[in-house]
Structure 1
Amino acid sequence: MTGVTSTSPATPTTPGVFVSFEGGDGAGKSTQSRLLGEWVQARGREVVLTREPGGTALGHLLRDAVLHGDHVDARTEALLYAADRAHHVHSLVRPALERGAVVITDRYLDSSVAYQGSGRDLGAQEVEDLSLWATHGLMPALTVLLDLDPVLGRARLTGDPDRLERAGDDFHRRTRQAFLDRAAAEPARWLVLDATRPVDEIAAQVRDRMAALLERAS
C-alpha cells in the first residue's frame, strides 16, 4: 500500500511530517495508517502511505526474499532490511518530505532494532547504527506503537505465516519488550496505545497527537 493519496499537494514551504506505526503482527498498523492518512488528507495535506519492507518496486523484491524466500541467517536478514530502508528513504520518503507531504509508514527503523537487534540477538545498538547510516539519520516526528500480546496478535493473522511470524513465542516476547523499552526511553517521539481497544478509539488518540504536529508544520 504505497503511493500518493492526495491530489492537492502542499505548498513547497510547508514542512513535511514523517510518522511511523510499529508493533507486532496483527496489531492493526495497516488499518491505523490508512485511517490517519484519510484524516490528514481531508485537511488538505498531501499524504504518502508506505510500508517497510516493500514501499518501492525494489522493496517488493526484497520483501519477498526476506519474508518468503529461502532461509537466511540473522545478519543477512538485517542487511536486507537495511538495504530496503536505504532505498525507500532515498527514493520515496525524503522526496515526499521535501515537497511538504505527510509520510505515514507501516514499520520503520524501530522494527529492525526490535526484530533483528533484540529478537535475533544481533544487538540493538548495532542494528540501530546500521539503519541510521542507511537513512542519513532520518527519524519520524511521531512513532505510534500499537502494543499487543503476541499470542493475541497471532490469533488475528490470516494466511500462511512468513518467516518472522514463525519465529516463536520467545522471539516475539523479546520484540514486544524491545518496542516498549524504546518507547519508554524516548516518550517525546512515541505514542503507546493498547491495540486491543476499539479501532475508532485508537484512531482518535492518534489524531489528537497528530493534530499538534500538523499545527506546528502549518
Structure 2
Amino acid sequence: MTQRGKFIVLEGIDGAGTTTQSAMLARNLKDLGYKVVTTQEPTLGPVGLLLRAILRGRVVGKGKPFDQKAVALLFAADRLDHIASEITPFLDSGFFVVSDRYVLSSLAYQSLYAELGWVKEVNRFAINPDLTIFLDVPVGVALKRIASSRPDKDIYEDKETLTRVYEAYRNALSSYPYGEWVTVDGTKPVEEVALAVLQQVKERVIS
C-alpha cells in the first residue's frame, strides 16, 4: 500500500517569495529522493483563471470591482476543486504536494473585507496541510521586490493594502485552525531562505 504523501504550503504577503521558495523546496525534496509536485492558488483551473483576471483588474462586476465577499467565495470554490482534482490524488499517490498559497491567504486577504469567522466558515471543508510556512517579509521589502520583478500589480499590491494584509496574516496565524505552522525570515538571501524552509520541513514533517 502506498504511503500517503505530505502537504506543505508556502505563505506570505505579495512579494514575500512564496513562488520562488515553493519551487526551491520542491527541487530540494526531489534531491532527497522524494516524489514532489508543485501547485498554486489561485489555480489554473476555470475558477482560478477567473480569479487571476479579477486580481489583475481585467474582469469587473457591472462596471465596478467585484464584491470582495463574492471573491472570497470564488477562492473557496477554487480551493475545493484544487483539493479534489490535484492535492488529494497526489497525496494518495505518495507525493509531497508543495503549494504556493492555500487557505491562509484567504484568511488574510479576504478578512480585510469580511469577518474572519465568516472566511473560516466558507473554507471549512479545506483539508489541513502537514505544515504551513509563513515567509515573514516587511511591506517595504515586498513592494521593492514587486516593483523590480514585474510591471503590473494586482489589486492588493499597494503599501496601505499590503500593510493591512500583513497585519491580517499575523492575526489569522494567532488562531490558525489548519494544522501546524512556522515562520521563516524571508528577507535573507534566497538560498539561505530555501535552506531554512527545508530545515523546517525536515524537522516537522519528515523526521
What's the offset of the Cα at 1:214?
Answer: 4.8
Which residue of 174, 199, 207 corresponds with 2:198?
207
Q: What does 1:81-92 correspond to in 2, within 5 Å?
A: 81-92=75-86
**Residue equivalent to 1:110:** 104
Report Cα offsets for 1:25-69 as digits up to 9, x if no partner: 111111111111011112222111010002x43244223332122
What's the offset of the Cα at 1:78?
Answer: 0.6
Q: Secondary structure of the residue that 2:155 maps to in structure 1?
A: coil
Single out whichever of 19-28 and 205-214 deviates more from structure 2: 205-214
Alpha carbons 1:51, 1:105 under 8 Å: kept: yes
**Residue equivalent to 1:139:** 128
What's the offset of the Cα at 1:107?
Answer: 0.6
Q: Secondary structure of the residue that 2:124 maps to in structure 1?
A: helix
**Residue equivalent to 1:65:** 53
- TM-score, normalised by the number of residues in structure 2: 0.87
What's the offset of the Cα at 1:102?
Answer: 0.5
1:189 aligns with 2:183: no
Single out whichever of 142-151 and 16-25 deviates more from structure 2: 142-151
1:22 aligns with 2:11: yes
**Residue equivalent to 1:198:** 189
In 2, Cα distance between the equivalents of 1:129 and 1:64? 23
In 2, Cα distance between the equivalents of 1:37 and 1:203? 10
**Among the aligned pairs, what percent are the same residue?**
34
In 2, Cα distance between the equivalents of 1:131 and 1:184? 17
Q: What does 1:172-187 correspond to in 2, within 5 Å?
A: 172-185=162-175
Q: What does 1:118-137 correspond to in 2, within 5 Å?
A: 119-120=112-113, 122-133=114-125, 135=126
Q: Where in structure 1 are there 5+ consecutive unaligned residues? A: 1-11
Give the 3 Å change call, closer, same or farther, for CA 62–13 of structure 1 in structure 2: same
In 2, Cα distance between the equivalents of 1:189 and 1:35? 21
Report Cα offsets for 1:99-132 as digits up to 9, x if no partner: 1110011110000010001x22x01111012112
Alpha carbons 1:66, 1:80 under 8 Å: kept: no
Give the 3 Å change call, closer, same or farther, for CA 32–214 of structure 1 in structure 2: same
Alpha carbons 2:30, 2:36 under 8 Å: kept: yes
**Residue equivalent to 1:47:** 36
Report Cα offsets for 1:131-184 as digits up to 9, x if no partner: 123x3xx0111111111122221111122111222xx43332222122223334
Q: Where in structure 2 are there 5+ consecutive unaligned residues? A: none
In 2, Cα distance between the equivalents of 1:132 and 1:171? 26
In 2, Cα distance between the equivalents of 1:46 and 1:213? 18
Which residue of 115, 127, 152 corresponds with 1:160?
152
Which 4+ stretches in 1 moved above 4 angstroms?
Answer: 184-188
In 1, Cα distance between the equivalents of 2:48 and 2:171? 30
Alpha carbons 1:183, 1:192 under 8 Å: kept: no
